[in-house]
Amino acid sequence: MSAEAALRALAEPRRQQILRLVRATPRSVGEIAEQVDITQQAVSQHLQVLRLPPGASTVEVTLTPHHGGTTVTIVHAGLPAPEDRQHRLGWPHFLERLVLAATGGDPGPDPWADGPPATPPATSPHPTISERRTPAE
């Protein structure tokens, strides 16, 4: 699915309603239909449009308050092995730079501007998990 197609799918107002409903609590198609005031068939059609295509990876970002700052946890799952190796190296690199920028620092020129280092770490069967804390202001 292209970025444009994904944005079109998310821009539809009823799909936004559905996503808000199921964000915190799983719901049946019947419950969603009742809340959004559409048929169960229409809910199923909207959910089909929102379904991830085969082979898609997912990124889950969680922001958690931590001692006056914020812990950002990123779980990237479903990547093929070659991409997984690159992402295991990339997430910590770019999160570190993001933390610097978010706390008013200057991360400076990106040493990876021309590409990442040639030897990424070995893969594991587990999703890529990166965690960084931003200090309180």
pLDDT tens for the 137 residues of the chain, in order:
677 888 888 899 999 999 999 988 889 999 999 999 999 999 999 999 888 888 888 888 888 888 888 887 888 888 888 788 788 888 888 888 988 898 899 999 999 888 877 755 454 444 555 555 555 55
Nearest of 118, 96, 97, 120 to residue 108 by alpha carbon: 97
Are residues 27 and 93 both part of a single domain?
no
**134 contacts 73 by C-beta, under 8 angstroms:** no
Q: How far is CA 134 from CA 62, 85, 90, 93, 114, in A?
A: 13, 26, 19, 15, 27
**94 contacts 117 by C-beta, under 8 angstroms:** no
Are residues 68 and 45 both part of a single domain?
no
Are residues 62 and 29 both part of a single domain?
no
Are residues 37 and 69 both part of a single domain?
no
Are residues 23 and 69 both part of a single domain?
no
Are residues 46 and 26 both part of a single domain?
yes
Are residues 9 and 36 both part of a single domain?
yes
Are residues 37 and 81 both part of a single domain?
no
Structural domain count, the chain:
2
| Host domain of residue 121 | 58-134
**Rounded distance, CA 62 to CA 79, Å?**
19
| pLDDT given at position 4 | 85
| pLDDT given at position 14 | 94
